[in-house]
Structure 1
Amino acid sequence: MTVDSRRGVPSRHGVHGDPRYPSPRRLRRATAFAIDWLLHIGVAIGVSAVCEAFPELTPWSFAAAVSSWIAVSFVHRTVLQSVFHTTAGKALCGLCILKSDGSWPRFGFLTKWWVIGAFSTVLVAFSGAGGDSDEEDDWFPPVVRLRDVRRLHVT
């Protein structure tokens, strides 16, 4: 972690130990992820159920579920998050996403990270690898407490 020697704060916003974002957020991030994942998979299950209800669509049930899961995930994590700076899960947990310079991410940035997240999820699933430390989270765009962002903008 690079530190700005003039102010004693990390050069990247929201990294582990950044005093600008002191509120604990690890459990909130895990909860937000679970909520978002359940939302995405819930839509996929619903689409699959609709396909199963119509005999002519039954063969397409699995493909419709997978494609709807991907579509909902993409729209939720890129389009909506570029407008509101949060997903449904993050909003319920009081979190938002930032770029490492502290600015709000735009659609292109979020799309890049959605693709990276999709590939890393597949790699973790197939390799069985995966870490669970705050320092590893520093590689991804920062997810911080919204109240800390508001406090920073007030002062």
Structure 2
Amino acid sequence: MLRRYIAFVIDFVLHVGIAFGVYAACDAIADLSALALPAAALAWVTASFVHRVIIQRIFHTTAGKALCGLVMIRSDDGRWPTAGFLVKWWLIGVVVIFIDNMAPTDENGFPPAVRRCDVEALGAR
């Protein structure tokens, strides 16, 4: 569980960092300063989606999970997640984090993030 929380924090900081960078860039340009906050929010959502859906679909992991040696698998059959599966869980994550103010955990029904070495030991899925 500790690896998963650390991975979550790393990914969260990455997404917030991108949003902060967009905010700072827009704020530094006088004509765009009024749009800095909406642009930052859009950058955060976009970075989160691209990272947690597209990148994770290709590599089976996010940056935070990779640094912690984790990959995501589907809980029903242990295979790599599909794009639809990742979009569904991204949307659920947005609702849980922004509405319920809860961090994702297995107890809440989130798909498992398991050690990459365990998946490799079983053979590529």
| TM superposition score category, shorter chain reference | over 0.9
1:58 and 2:33 equivalent? yes
- TM-score normalised by structure 1 residue count: 0.75
Corresponding position of 2:74: 99
Corresponding position of 1:148: 118
1:120 and 2:96 equivalent? yes
**Structure 2 unaligned spans of 5+:** none
Aligned residue identity for 1:152: L
Aligned residues: 123
| SS across alignment from 1:30 | helix
| SS across alignment from 1:117 | helix
| SS across alignment from 1:103 | coil
**Structure 1 unaligned spans of 5+:** 1-25
Pick the structure with greater CA Rg: 1
- Aligned-CA RMSD value: 1.7
Q: Report Cα offsets for 1:30-51 as digits up to 9, x if no partner.
A: 1100100000000000000000
Corresponding position of 1:23: none
| Identity percentage of aligned residues | 50
1:30 and 2:5 equivalent? yes
1:86 and 1:60 map into 2 onto residues whose CA distance is 32
The structure with more helix, counted as a fraction of residues = 2
Greater length-normalized contact order (CA 8 Å, ≥ 6 residues apart):
1
1:45 and 1:151 map into 2 onto residues whose CA distance is 40
Structure 1 115/45 Cα, relative in aligned 2: closer, same or farther at 3 Å? Answer: same
1:124 and 1:116 map into 2 onto residues whose CA distance is 11
Aligned residue identity for 1:151: A
1:89 deviates by 0.4
- TM-score normalised by structure 2 residue count: 0.92
1:124 deviates by 1.8
1:131 and 1:46 map into 2 onto residues whose CA distance is 24
